[in-house]
């Protein structure tokens, strides 16, 4: 069967479409300026926001998707352009609520990046005679509770998508916050990421000292952490490997730029990693409230605690590092606890893999017998 090529649209139709949507080819100068701006934006996400490379790549994918759809230089974007793009993602691409929240988060970041820098605004004004303005509406991100209630089941482990929804919600609040609220939200974001990427007990989290973090390598952008020493249940000490790059990045950023604001006495005796708003040791109950409140506000229907995040960590990490390594990370004395209680695999996904494997074996057997 030959390859079927799509019949191209007539040039007159393409011209009419471009005229009606405002979509036009960028000039060389516009294209060069836009590429330069997006490169600077990516660098700001990586350096000043302490985002991992994978997170920045995901952000750029979302931004480039908007650039391709809108077809104007970013400094000419208006609310109507971005609203049309987001509606297209919802109605045509049928993206999930968490993904929509991610699009809004990074578009808001781009807007702040373009409008908050006097140098960038002056550069664009001198080159193209216009200053970048606001293009994001003030509508709050769509949460899960506003969607039809599909699959309303109680679960003790969050999915990756649900973790992203919570982080995106905190990021959205960070974009609106000022002064002390901004610092508190950034601390809380660090707490959530630390719990979900390291599987800590809440009692272990509040007792972490800065010196408990083992530095693998010092770089200009900050230290790279290899492991964390904690004292777990029953006073048993263990060393937890920092597996996720984003964990090291976020902790280094938090210690350098955020933690100092919570120190009551800014001296060497201030050793804890996380402090309360009053500069005292953070309580386990306060951490439980932080996690529960953010998950609820992000639209997660099930009540979530730090212990649920420990289950989440187990479920997400075990397929990557194996049961024994996960057991050591969690500090369990029995592997049966790790595998039987904390691990919540997607049974449908496992069944599909079994069916695929069985189908291949049957096909191979038929070939041998034919």
Neighbours of 47 (CB within 10 A): 13
- pLDDT higher than 90, residue 139: no
Please answer whether residues 187 and 274 qualify as being in contact, where contact means their C-beta atoms are separated by less than 8 angstroms: yes
Task: Output the pLDDT for position 334.
Answer: 78
Say which residue, 161 or 195, is predicted with more confidence: 195
Please write the tens of the pLDDT for every residue from 51-61. 677 788 888 99
What would the mean pLDDT of 279-299 be, rounded to a whole number? 93
Cα 363 from Cα 282, distance rounded (Å): 59
- Mean pLDDT on 154-181: 85
Picking from 191-195, 298-302, 366-370, which range would have the lowest pLDDT averaged per residue? 366-370
Distances (CA, A) of 123 to 25, 109, 117, 213: 21, 19, 10, 42
Q: Which residue has the higher pLDDT, 323 or 253?
A: 253
Q: How many residues in total does the chain contain?
A: 370
Q: For 304, how many CA atoms within 13 A lie in the half-sphere containing its CB?
A: 27
Cα separation, 143 vs 166, in Å, equals 10
Say if residues 264 and 280 touch (Cβ distance below 8 Å): yes
Q: Are 33 and 124 in contact (CB under 8 A)?
A: yes
Which domains, ranges and CATH numbers included, belong to the chain? 25-139 (1.10.150.130), 160-344 (1.10.443.10)
Higher pLDDT, 176 or 139: 176
d(CA 352, CA 360): 12
- Write down the residue that tokens 């934006």 correspond to: 41
Is it the case that residue 340 has pLDDT exceeding 80?
Answer: no
Residue 50 backbone class (left: φ over 0; alpha: ψ -120 to 50; beta: rest): left
Instruction: Report the range of poorest mean pLDDT among 47-51, 77-81, 245-249.
Output: 47-51
- Quote the tokens at residue 183: 């610092």
pLDDT for the residue numbered 352: 60
Residues 276, 270: Cα–Cα separation, whole Å: 13
Mean pLDDT confidence for 2-8: 39
Q: What's the pLDDT score for residue 137? A: 78
């Amino acid at each position: 069967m030959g390859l079927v090529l799509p019949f191209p649209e007539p040039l007159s139709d393409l011209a009419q479409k471009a005229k009606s949507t405002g979509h036009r080819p960028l000039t060389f100068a516009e294209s060069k300026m836009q590429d330069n701006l997006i490169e600077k934006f990516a660098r700001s996400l990586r350096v000043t926001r302490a985002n991992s490379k994978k997170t920045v790549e995901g952000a750029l994918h979302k931004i480039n998707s908007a650039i391709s759809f809108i077809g104007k230089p970013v400094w000419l974007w208006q609310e109507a352009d971005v609203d049309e793009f987001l509606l297209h993602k919802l109605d045509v691409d049928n993206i999930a609520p968490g993904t929509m929240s991610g699009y809004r988060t990074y578009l808001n970041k781009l807007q702040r990046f373009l409008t908050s820098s006097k140098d960038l605004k002056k550069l664009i004004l001198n080159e193209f005679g216009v200053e970048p303005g606001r293009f994001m509406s003030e509508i709050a991100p769509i949460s899960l509770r506003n969607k039809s209630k599909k699959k309303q089941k109680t679960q003790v482990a969050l999915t990756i998508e649900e973790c992203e929804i919570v982080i995106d919600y905190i990021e959205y609040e960070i974009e609106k916050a000022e002064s002390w609220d901004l610092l508190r939200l950034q601390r809380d974001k660090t707490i959530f990421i630390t719990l979900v990427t390291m599987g800590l007990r809440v009692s272990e989290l509040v007792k972490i000292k800065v010196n408990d973090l083992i530095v693998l390598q010092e770089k200009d952008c900050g230290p790279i952490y290899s492991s964390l020493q904690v004292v777990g249940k029953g006073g048993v000490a263990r060393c937890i490997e920092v597996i996720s790059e984003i964990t090291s990045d976020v902790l280094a950023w938090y210690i350098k730029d955020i933690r100092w604001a919570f120190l009551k006495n800014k001296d060497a005796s201030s050793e804890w990693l996380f402090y309360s708003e009053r500069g005292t040791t953070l309580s386990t109950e306060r951490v439980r409230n932080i996690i529960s409140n953010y998950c609820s506000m992000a639209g997660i229907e099930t009540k979530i605690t730090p212990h649920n995040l420990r289950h989440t960590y187990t479920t997400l990490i075990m397929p990557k590092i194996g049961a024994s390594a996960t057991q050591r990370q969690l500090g369990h004395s029995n592997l049966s606890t790790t595998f039987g209680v904390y691990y919540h695999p997607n049974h449908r996904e496992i069944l599909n893999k079994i069916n695929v494997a069985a189908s291949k074996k049957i096909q191979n057997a038929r070939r041998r017998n034919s």
